[in-house]
Structure 1
């Protein structure tokens, strides 16, 4: 609409001309528009946006050490009508002068406050310095309609004197020492971790090799057992067959030995013993003949006895031939049986001789010899 003006959100509209309000040379309009009569009213706009000012100032500390301080101030025109009026009356024609004037104001306060502090305080307590500068400048800034949002001390330089460097040397050394210690600890930890990782890898490789060797050994053993199972079973069966055949052969040999003993050995031994007894009897007969020949008065009697002696022994041996003799100790047992028979024959012979010499017997009476068949088993 013709003659109607609206300020931007970050602007204040100043309308001059016409009736004054509260002694102000212009009417302030913010946040809405207003009708401006052409040729009668004049409109100007004042920025309410944030403005930045940079301060680079050489200051001298309480120790007479020169420092180059660089600071940045963020400020703006206040939102209240009074601040807008004050700022409009001073900067409306050249609003760029707000940054210049603000920088000069803060440079003065910065030199004043730094002059009351030491380098150590300035370096270590930058926020304290900024707060003091901000507090001392606020009333002066408010007079020109400006408010400060923030003040930042960006850098402090001792202009090459080396004071700050020397002041920071112990701290740098301590920090470097701590850094070296931390680096050494980190290196040691890394080496230990690498060694532990290598050890774990070696242990894993060893365990893997052991397990693989065990698996391979089990597989080889199973394959060998499977390959030997058939021959081993066949050999075991053959061994059992051979053992059974050996046992059967032993039993057959024992049985055959018993048969040979019963059928051959015992009859042969009995026959040999009989022949030996006959030979003994014949030898005794020869001896008696010799003794009878030496005796003249008993020739006839001795001859009769001699003739009867073989018959006596023969009768005794006949019982041995038909007897079932169990010989317990082989040839020695047969010898004992033969000696017993000969002894019986000689006993009979001695008895006959005594009977012949008895006075009651007549010369012509016959001699009766009762030969009882002896059972060798008794």
Structure 2
């Protein structure tokens, strides 16, 4: 939008013209948001709030009168508060590079002042103390120009060609060298002692090895002599032990085989035989019961059949008389006697069948011959005789 200005996150926008800023500042300060600025009537400038760096290389004289060249690096920036931005804007807005130059000069002056009150030993051994004192003495002065210091680092301290710092380090170097030489001597002595101990250990090892080897050879010789003397006897004992072991193994194998045969053949065969015997007994009993039942049933059925057929038998016997030349001598009485004979013959047949059923082994009875005599009156009475087989 025309006239609307927004500062960067690391910038402060300074708007001059119009009403004054806070605290009577000649301009208004805007950070973190935009603002509408009237063209022509208002003027907008930007002041950086980013980190800046300044290097210092200053020759300083210590309390001992020894000149030292001290190099340091200062990290600083414009303060974030409104007062610091106003102070820095009034001093550096037109030439913001002057912030680094002025900061370097300020710290160079404080370095000379503080180093002049310290010895070389203190400066060399207590660099952090030197940096802290410089920061503390420069804080007030830097705040007046709207700047804050984040850090101060002493990079190097050089005494030029005087050699004071080197001479100061000489005793320490000598002590270190002496300690190094002592350590080297001790290491050399330790190495020699270790080599000597290793040589002694090696000699002792060789001696012990020789002793052990000699003892081993002696034992081997004794064992060989004993083996030579007791060889046949030992071999016989060994063979006997082998035979005994083989015999025991064979007996054990035979026992196991016998148990296996009993388990696999005898027991199943006995069980099968018992099963067959039980089935045979049961089958015989069943057949006996069926035979008795059948015999009883056949007798009853046969008697019933004969009884049922008795009238037919008599009828058939009577039919055999048809057309026969039969003379009835005594009339009606003769006919009655013939009928009675036929009935009696049927009963005889029935009785014979019953006896055969009761005695299966009894010989069959001869078939009875029934003689019917019919006696009549008159000269032809002899002709009334009838034989029925």
The TM-score normalised by the length of structure 2 is 0.51
Q: Distance in 2 between matches of 1:205 and 1:34?
A: 98
Q: CA deviation at 1:106?
A: 0.8
The corresponding residue for 2:108 is: 107
1:267-286 matched pairs, under 5 angstroms:
none
What is the rounded CA distance, in whole Å, between the counterparts of 1:91 and 1:129 in structure 2? 29
Q: Which residue of 2 aligns with 1:177?
A: 178
Residues 310-367 of structure 1: CA deviation (Å, up to 9, x unaligned): xxxxxxxxxxxxxxxxxxxxxxxxxxxxxxxxxxxxxxxxxxxxxxxxxxxxxxxxxx
Aligned to 1:69: 70
Q: Which residue of 1 aligns with 2:323?
A: none
Partner Cα separation in structure 1 for residue 219 and residue 73 of structure 2: 83
Tell me if 1:35 matches 2:36: yes
Query: 2:154 is matched with which residue?
Result: 153
Secondary structure of the equivalent of 2:17? strand
Classify 1:42/1:185 alpha carbon distance in 2 versus 1 (closer, same or farther; 3 Å). Answer: farther
Distance 2:119 2:205 in 1: 64
Q: Partners of 2:209 and 2:16 in 1: how far apart?
A: 96
Matches within 5 A, 1:253-272: none
How far apart, CA to CA, are the structure 2 residues paired with 1:189 and 1:134?
53
Q: For residue 180 of structure 1, give the secondary structure of its aligned residue in structure 2.
A: helix
Could you tell me how far apart the structure 1 residues matched to 2:201 and 2:32 are? 74
Task: Find the residue that maps to 1:8 and give its secondary structure.
Answer: coil
Shift of 1:37: 3.0
Q: 1:204 to 1:67 in 2, by over 3 A?
A: same
Between the aligned partners of 1:2 and 1:194, the Cα distance in structure 2 is 92
SS at match of 1:100: helix
Residue in structure 1 matched with residue 241 of structure 2 by the alignment: none
Give the SS at the match of 2:55.
strand
Secondary structure of the residue aligned to 2:20 is: strand
- Give, in whole Å, the separation in 2 of the partners of 1:204 and 1:30: 87
What is the root-mean-square deviation of aligned Cα atoms in Å? 3.6
Measure the CA separation in 1 of the matches of 2:3 and 2:218: 107
Counterpart in the other structure of 1:45: 46
Deviation at 1:152, TM superposition (A): 1.8
Residues 1:197 and 1:154: Cα distance change in structure 2 (over 3 Å):
farther
| Aligned twin of 1:87 | 88
- Distance 1:115-1:207 versus aligned 2 partners, 3 A rule: same
User: 1:132-281 to 2 correspondence within 5 Å?
Assistant: 132-186=133-187, 188=189, 230-233=231-234
State the Cα distance separating 1:161 from its structure 2 match: 1.0
- Partner of 2:74, secondary structure, is strand
Aligned to 1:279: none
In 1, Cα distance between equivalents of 2:221 and 2:195: 38
- Report what 2:121 is aligned to: 120
Using a 3 Å threshold, how does the CA distance of structure 1 residues 40 and 218 change in structure 2: closer, same or farther?
A: farther
Q: Taking structure 1 as reference, are residues 40 and 64 closer, same or farther at Cα in structure 2, changes over 3 Å only?
A: same
TM-score normalised by L of structure 1: 0.53
Question: Residue 151 of structure 1 aligns to a residue in which SS?
Answer: strand
Residue matched to 1:7: 7
In 2, Cα distance between equivalents of 1:32 and 1:204: 89
Deviations 1:75-114 (A, max 9, x none): 1111111111111111112211111100111111111222
What is the CA distance between 1:150 and its match in structure 2? 1.7
> Hey, what's the Cα distance between the residues in 2 that align with 1:36 and 1:120?
59
Secondary structure class of the residue paired with 1:86: helix
Alignment correspondent of 1:54: 55
Deviation at 1:53, TM superposition (A): 1.0
| Paired residue secondary structure (1:19) | coil
Offset at residue 38 of structure 1 (A): 3.1
Residue 165 of structure 2 aligns to a residue in which SS? helix
- Structure 1 unaligned blocks of 5 or more: 237-378
Report what 1:259 is aligned to. none
CA deviations on 1:275-297 (whole Å, 9 max, x unpaired) are xxxxxxxxxxxxxxxxxxxxxxx
- Deviations along 1:134-180, one digit per CA (max 9) or x if unpaired, are 11111111111011122222211112012222222112211222233
Q: What per-residue deviation string (whole Å, max 9, x for no partner) do you get for residues 3-33 of structure 1?
A: 3333222222222222111321221122222
Residue in 2 that maps onto 1:17: 17
Distance in 2 between the 1:201 and 1:16 partners?
96
Change (3 A) 1:160 1:210: same
> How many residues are paired up?
236
